[in-house]
Chain A
Amino acid sequence: MNLDLAIVDYWASSGRSAWHQASAGAKIVLVLAVVGSAVFSSSVAFLASAYGLVWVLVLASGLPIVPVIGLATYPALFTLVFIASRWDGRWETAAIYLLRALCAGLAAVWLVGTTPYPDLFAPISRLVPRFVGDALFLSYRAFFTLANKMVRLSVALRLRGGWGRGGAMRRLSNLGQGMGTLVLFSFERSQRVYAVMELRGHSGRVCGCRHWSASTRLDWVPVALAALIVTAAVWTRGAP
């Protein structure tokens, strides 16, 4: 995964395309339509078309192509294990499994690449218990600090010989001790965050943001595309 989350977060907050301006709610509807249609469809033609359509969305959003290809092909690694185990001599079966995973994965990457996380998490936090929704926000906020610490830890381990000497077990044990410093940091950080929350009058919910549902002039486009995709999926049901 490397630091993909930080990169994608940068795309979402710095992008200026029309898709970045569209409301999170409309884009979530579109992505749910793509993912739902993909996992229920067994038509290679439909899945290939839907995958092509999501690529058009990615290109229209101005997301950098090479990193997106890296992220979007990641699900293929996992899917190949399943394809190999279920290999029945038909390429159609392999193509269906692969396209389903690629289509859903690319749609998710497009969504997070065009939607800032407060807008993306706000509707999700409405669907899950409050404790979980708040944990989602706090985890995302804490990730960037901890990821930087993790990179520094990795560099420090290499520079001080903790990663190069000894066998694999020795290296992993050193990594574990390094991880211990990050656990300590996490505990201290949680105490600081708690103090800040108390100071700011934490009311029991981390984000009451409603920006995600604020409709824009462009919202009809993702909703219309969602309807088109679902109709096409139903239409091509049973087709090769």
Chain B
Amino acid sequence: MLAIKFLIPEIFLSISIFSLLMIGVFIKNSFEIIYRLSLFVIILIILIILSGDSESIKIFSESFTIDRFSLYSKILILISTFFVLLMSKKYIVDIKNNKFEYPIIILLSILGMFIMVSSNDLILFYMGLELQSLALYILASIDRDNIKSSEAGVKYFVLSALSSGLLLYGCSLIYGFTGSTNFEEIANSKDFNVGTIFGMVFILVGLAFKVSAVPFHMWTPDVYQGSPTSVTSFFSVVPKAAGIAIFIKFMYLPFRDVLNQWQYILVFMSIASMILGAVAAIGQTNIKRLMAYSSIGHIGYAIAGIAAGTENGFKSTLIYISIYIVMNIGAFACILLMKRDGKYVEEIEELSGVSKNHPMMSFGLLIILFSLAGIPPLAGFFAKFYIFMAVIESEMYTLAIIGLVTTVLSAFYYIRIIKIMYFDEPKKPFEKFVDYKIHGPIVLSCVLLVSFFIYPSILNEIVSNISIF
């Protein structure tokens, strides 16, 4: 009975999902109410988590962990979901997708992520993963009359189900060879033989697919482009945070003693993702597709931190992913502003000369893009800086050098957008509207990115208290 109190965020989330569902069923055209209530629920859960104590404890026969790491990830997930949901409202209503299920499915997917980041057991981990990915399949195809959205949904479903299958196969191998599904016991079983390593590789494949690291990234551009922009902004932010969190947990908890086995795999994934993210994005004309490649590149940097294999390594990854979330929320809020003649446009060319008509928006996008490119003194620079510090500490100079080179390469396409915005011929202005729900996140994101260098240790201090072991 005492254990229940540690589960309050999850229980509260589930109960509110059920109640929202009931409200949605019985009240007609209830998108507005459900939307507000779900924002309110998210804020309440943030408060519940912050007000609870952060001692680390394992419940349900040690299959569910509550510690600073999982709480940090949960708050990251909640805050990013809050902003994504906040800014996507106008878009959802504009494309007439205001079904009341939309916020509920998003809440269900965060429930899955909660379970995933807290899991200390292969079975529980898999259930959380399935809950969140099932919600994501539905979200990808939620604009069902749009053929691209349906295509994105089907593509994501088929590929992701395949990767889940591989992951499950890996789990079964690990259970067979170590005799337990519990992370701690897997780590403690001393004989890691080739079978366990094989299982670990399969799990790595599944995880890499979920965070879209090369060579399992093929779905990302198509799904990002095909899904409605509001869903794309969710995809590029929230599942990435949860995926990276569980990635860290897997590498540092059950497989911590076989660092020499997974380190090279992660280094390869990281290098490949950074290079692909930098090179393949150059030729893109669609801004959502470009953001997809950019997110592949950023995941490469995040994995570089994990690959360092040290405590500083995963902490730098946590910092990286937090700053990445801030940047991506801002960037997608700007993309959601690109509306002309009642239609949302997605081509980069449409941004041409936008600084003449929309100086504030283009200035915000400028800051965010500079930060994505990693130009000092913006927060994106510090994120990359910590990663490279951790990587160099563990003497992986090749990884660091390739990372630096790809940073320069990827700066090209970010700055190309800035050039298009500021120096090209102005086109017809976008629709002018002031919506604090969209402009608020942009302003907040820019302020955070610009002011991060004043006191960068604030995030460090939060993260430095986190430990997984």
The judgment on whether A and B are partners is no
**CB within 8 Å of B: which residues of A?**
none
